[in-house]
Structure 1
Amino acid sequence: MRRLLALGLIAGTTGLALPAWADPLRVVTSFSVLTDMVEQVGGEQVEVTSLVGRDSDTHAFSPSPGDARRIAEADLVVFNGLQLEGWMERLIEASSYRGPLVVASRGITPLGGDEAHADDGHVQKGDAHGSHDAEAHGHEDHGHGHDEPSHDHEHEAEGHEGHDHGEMDPHAWLDVTRAQQYVVNIRDGLIEADPGHAETYRRNAAGYLDELAALDEEIHVLMADIPVENRLVVTGHDSFNYFADAYDVRFLSPVGLSTVNEPSAALMARLIDTLEEQQVKALFYENITNPALIEQLAEEAGLPIAGTLYSGALAADGDASTYAGMMRHNATRIHDALAKSAD
């Protein structure tokens, strides 16, 4: 805002017509998935800083004074909501940031804890497709809360101590259709913060939404190629409920919605029994969870580990270093492990 006022003074004294921003819009995001989405929509007009880095765990993140300074200097702040960032409200208050906020998940009906904990093996069921708003792109509340100077902004209960998601699963980006609502909210937040480049943001968002729609169809085709009885995936924690819901796949994990949880010995024993009963074909590492749990399951159940899936953070490089690449990587790894096991 200070830069905008300065530009206005310069334009008024020189008579020059200056662009809306002489420098890229400074955007701070909570984690790397949102960073990529903002970069896809913002293009060269944005400079994005992620508080939680690539291959890093948002659940276990503890903000520093430097993070508060980054937010204080931002022109726009983007975070997930749905209780993912239990530290965000306190961080914004500490920074005294008064600018626009984007709650990227605004407009999405969250899945609750019941979907994430269907039994003692933490089965995430993929048996419903109607829990999100298929017409969410047309909603009028874009989730950037600019009329709320108190920073209440429906922080989605972000004031909870620790990293407990309660009864709400925050990992909505793992369904590409729901992720398109993230893109719409980000687009509208960028337009609010930098209306001079509104057409650029609309054009970039439209192209990105088309790309994601094609990706969603691609994932549906890959999952449909796996026999129904083989569509059971074991990962490090309960992060794939939305993927399960969207693409008709079941997931098992040794821990709940937060990676800071640790499974009991009794739960691990029950899960091993479940793997045998369900004739699970393969296990997967998850990039932000402790690999020891999956390795223990693999050893005790005699199952192969088929690779790494990405849930709460993008990879530092490679094919999972963008959101679209991450989703394609996950779907391809699951398909290759479970479709081949049917041969």
Structure 2
Amino acid sequence: MKAVLCKAFGPAETLVLEEIASPEAKKNEILLDVHAAGVNFPDTLIIEGKYQFKPPFPFSPGGEAAGVVSAVGEKVSHLKVGDRVMALTGWGSFAEQVAVPGYNVMPIPSSMDFASAAAFGMTYGTSMHALKQRANLQPGETLLVLGASGGVGLAAVEIGKAMGAKVIAAASSAEKLEVAKAAGADELINYSESNLKDEVKRLTGGQGADVIYDPVGGDLFDMAIRSIAWNGRLLVVGFASGRIPELPVNLTLLKGAAVVGVFWGAFAQRQPQDNAANFQQLFAWHAEGKLKPLVSQTFPLAQAADAINMLGQRKAVGKVVVTVR
């Protein structure tokens, strides 16, 4: 099979496309014929040795995939050969086949194509877990989404609306904000042109945001925590800015606020029934047309490096997908 390989930590340009032996499914795994693979921010980190786990060389990047089950290990009972599925792989998806633990594989609705499915699992799974289990977002509350045109940010906008919140989308350009507006955002903030804290206060009548969804970190976190409402919850989703912020904890005391970590991958493994219930709701919203994964660009397997660079350079809107078949 063909696979994109990382043989030493470095930039995306050092990845190579090679022919290698197909993996074999272990007892608790399935073998997936990959049709499409989602590109996510961790892919930009894992190839440079900057992510929380470092796979042994050589490895393929790509943390999520969609395709067809081609073999099933004897301990996997909920899947069969021929099933259309999405899979959370950690790495390995930028290849024609990947072996995946059965508990990380989920059938997809017949209405969902492979590119949409490859763009769905990680972003919508993360944002649903963040807003439901971690923030307990309630109808009528105000949700501020930073990086609102990116993969997880756009999913948070759509899910926030589906949950009945007033959504303020914040992004770095007018073009990106138009994408968030099309996804249902009620108010828009261009934080390259205006002060985030001042705009949030203006749009909330001085109250601040009840829930803040932050996949960016850095300076935006510093401003966001100062624009949070009484009893507010700030969700720590990621650090796309490159800087992990430090928190003056007196700010949480003054607002009776909580800063809450979001780690969907661990949640999915530790609370599989809750994760499955989340996806039942997400698939229902997708069928109702409330969730519309935005795949802004697709790249063939041979151009996976270009897809990773697009994300690393923060040029991506919505999701970027590598098409394999």
Higher helix share: 1
TM-score (norm 1): 0.32
Higher strand share: 2
